[in-house]
């Protein structure tokens, strides 16, 4: 078979396939394919703005995490602090939901103390909700023991000193707490709260997106694909429905 005959054969097969697809599509589209709908547990779960705390109900724990978050992302002339941007609201909503319950984590044994798993990160049997409860209590106890005051009432430079020690491993809060990993968890979550979609409680007024020039959850960007490197100055759009 020469090249021309091969092309003719492919064209014939394509025509047959197209006809078959057209007939099949006409049959399939007579009803809505309900089995293709998005599972409800995969849809965004909005945080309740101004709602009562679900997990961070202890006043000391809330003050402690608020102080930590505001040292990790302090407010300045460029944007609000973490708490002003709703990061504690974000964290509380996440801890009350699947993330807090460790729904996506492998938490079964065997677990060896002080060893890393194949991903080079510590394996935790405790859920994130439990880790926050234990870690925040330990951080408060550390401040009370060494400074005679709540962590939230310490001077900012002292708070920074403790947090730097948690980050580099020179501060160990408690034998029951992986201090470095707990610091990394708080840092990860405050970043998520500051830059996630406002529907989840953080990034209030899309302050984080405005800070970095991110245009948000827009439908598509086909109108701007040829404007590489330009500042588009697009107003951010959230997943929150507009009235």
What pLDDT does 144 receive?
98
CA atoms within 13 A on the CB side of 153: 8
Q: pTM of the prediction?
A: 0.76
What pLDDT does 119 receive?
46
Instruction: Provide the residue-wise pLDDT of the chain in tens; the chain has 243 residues.
Output: 555 555 445 455 444 444 444 444 444 444 545 555 555 665 666 666 666 889 999 999 999 999 999 999 999 999 999 999 999 999 999 999 999 988 887 777 666 655 544 445 667 888 999 999 999 999 999 999 999 999 999 999 999 999 999 999 999 999 989 999 999 999 999 999 999 999 999 999 999 999 998 998 888 888 888 888 888 888 888 887 665
What pLDDT does 2 receive?
57
What pLDDT does 28 receive?
45
Burial (Cβ within 10 Å: 0-12, 13-18, ≥19) of residue 118: exposed
What pLDDT does 164 receive?
98
What pLDDT does 141 receive?
98
Q: Report in angstroms the alpha-carbon separations of 233 from 203, 215, 218.
A: 18, 8, 13
What pLDDT does 196 receive?
95
- Domain range summary for the chain, segments of one domain joined by +: 50-212
């Amino acid at each position: 078979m020469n090249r021309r005959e091969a092309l003719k054969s492919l064209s014939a097969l394509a025509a047959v396939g197209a006809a078959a697809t057209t007939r099949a599509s006409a049959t399939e589209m007579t009803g809505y394919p309900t089995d293709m709908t998005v599972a409800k547990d995969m849809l965004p779960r909005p945080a309740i703005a101004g709602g009562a705390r679900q997990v961070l109900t202890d006043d000391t724990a809330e003050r402690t995490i608020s102080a930590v978050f505001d040292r990790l992302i302090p407010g300045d002339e460029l944007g609000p602090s973490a708490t002003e941007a709703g990061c504690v609201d974000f964290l509380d909503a996440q801890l009350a939901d699947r993330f807090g319950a460790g729904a996506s984590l492998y938490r079964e044994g065997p677990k060896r103390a002080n060893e890393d798993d194949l991903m080079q990160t510590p394996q935790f049997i405790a859920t994130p909700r439990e880790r926050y409860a234990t870690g925040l209590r330990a951080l408060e106890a550390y401040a009370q023991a060494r400074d005679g005051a709540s962590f939230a009432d310490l001077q900012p430079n002292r708070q920074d000193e403790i947090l730097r020690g948690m980050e580099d491993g020179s501060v160990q809060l408690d034998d029951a707490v992986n201090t470095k990993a707990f610091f990394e968890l708080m840092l990860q979550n405050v970043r998520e709260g500051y830059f996630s979609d406002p529907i989840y409680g953080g990034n209030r007024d899309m302050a984080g997106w405005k800070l970095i020039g991110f245009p948000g959850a827009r439908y598509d960007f086909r109108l701007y694909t040829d404007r590489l490197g330009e500042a588009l100055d697009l107003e951010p759009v959230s997943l929150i429905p507009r009235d």
